[in-house]
């Protein structure tokens, strides 16, 4: 199923995990994240507790778009947000 996301979004890659217990769909191009993935997830919201992680993910994407990640303070804020995700 994850491999089909590559065709659906027209971007990303599938990586098999080293333990071969599944894999990951990863979008590396920032413009693909902001122009394809985020609009899709805004139209078809993530439900449950993962919606909190998505809100944080989107906040970080907005920070990167504003180039805040290039400052020490911005990078620290992103690291703090990341440490509070996937709990």
DSSP string, 11-42: --EEEE-TT-S-EEEE---HHHIIIIIHHHHH
Q: How many domains, the chain?
A: 1
Residue 72 within a domain: yes
Residue 20 within a domain: no
The parent domain of residue 73 ranges over 45-87
Residue 80 within a domain: yes
Residue 33 within a domain: no
Average pLDDT, the chain: 95
**Rounded distance, CA 67 to CA 83, Å?**
20
Residue 55 within a domain: yes
In this prediction the pTM is: 0.86
User: pLDDT tens digits for 11-41?
Assistant: 999 999 888 788 999 999 999 999 999 999 9
Q: Give the mean pLDDT of 43-70.
A: 97
Residue 57 within a domain: yes
């Amino acid at each position: 199923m994850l491999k089909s996301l590559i065709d659906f979004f027209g971007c990303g890659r599938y990586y098999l995990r080293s333990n071969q217990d599944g894999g990951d769909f990863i979008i590396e191009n920032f413009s693909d994240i902001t122009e394809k993935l985020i609009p899709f997830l805004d139209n078809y919201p993530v439900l449950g507790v993962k919606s909190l992680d998505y809100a944080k993910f989107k906040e970080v994407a907005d920070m990167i778009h504003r180039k805040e990640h290039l400052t020490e303070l911005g990078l620290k804020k992103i690291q703090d947000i990341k440490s509070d995700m996937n709990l």
